[in-house]
């Protein structure tokens, strides 16, 4: 079952199951003034899963508060000791993730199929979040 929320500031969050994993899809602008509400919505919608996929292909814009919000949400998920993969195609959003060194703490891939392959192979060998 899909859960959808949309605020008036053009950010959309969808959470649904893909096999034994949970997929969080973000679209719109994840920027200052929206991040606290989005963080709370994501945390409320999360369920226990064997791994998590964050699909950022729909993001048009993300700023430092959006990047920080993702780290905060991931800290909540990491308490379950589950792998996390970010799906984002080449472009400005992916470049921002690389500049922020997200590739050190997440597997960053271009497709959901790649994400599922990584998750099914027991996750990734990225740095622990505390070492980031």
Q: Give pLDDT tens digits for 98-131.
A: 999 999 988 999 999 999 999 998 655 554 555 5
| Residue closest to 58 by CA, chosen among 11, 21, 104, 98 | 11
| Residue closest to 20 by CA, chosen among 45, 47, 44 | 47
Mean confidence (pLDDT) of the chain: 87
Q: Which residue has the higher pLDDT, 124 or 29?
A: 29
Q: Give pLDDT tens digits for 31-65.
A: 999 999 999 999 999 998 999 999 999 999 999 99
* pLDDT of amino acid 95: 96
Asked whether residue 20 carries a pLDDT value surpassing 60, the answer given is: yes
Q: How far apart are CA 44 and CA 5, in angstroms?
A: 11
Q: How far apart are CA 100 and CA 123, in angstroms?
A: 21
Full-model pTM:
0.84
Walk me through the domains of the chain, giving residue ranges and CATH numbers: 3-122 (3.30.750.24)
pLDDT band with cut points at 50, 70 and 90 for residue 10: confident
* pLDDT of amino acid 100: 94
* pLDDT of amino acid 130: 57
Q: 118 with 82: CB under 8 angstroms?
A: no
Lateral strand order in the sheet of 107-109: 3-6, 11-18, 21-30, 52-62, 84-87, 107-109
pLDDT band with cut points at 50, 70 and 90 for residue 79: confident
């Amino acid at each position: 079952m899909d859960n959808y929320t949309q605020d008036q500031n053009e950010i959309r969050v969808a959470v649904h199951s893909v096999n034994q994993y949970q997929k969080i899809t973000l679209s719109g602008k994840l920027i200052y003034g929206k991040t606290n509400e989005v963080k709370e919505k994501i945390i409320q919608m999360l369920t226990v899963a064997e791994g998590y996929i964050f699909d950022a292909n729909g993001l048009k814009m993300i700023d430092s508060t959006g990047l920080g919000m993702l780290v905060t949400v991931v800290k909540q998920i990491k308490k379950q000791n589950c792998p996390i993969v970010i799906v984002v195609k080449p472009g400005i959003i992916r470049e921002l993730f690389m500049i922020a060194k997200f590739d050190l703490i997440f597997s960053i891939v271009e497709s959901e199929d790649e994400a599922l392959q990584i998750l099914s192979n027991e996750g990734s060998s990225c740095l622990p979040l505390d070492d980031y």
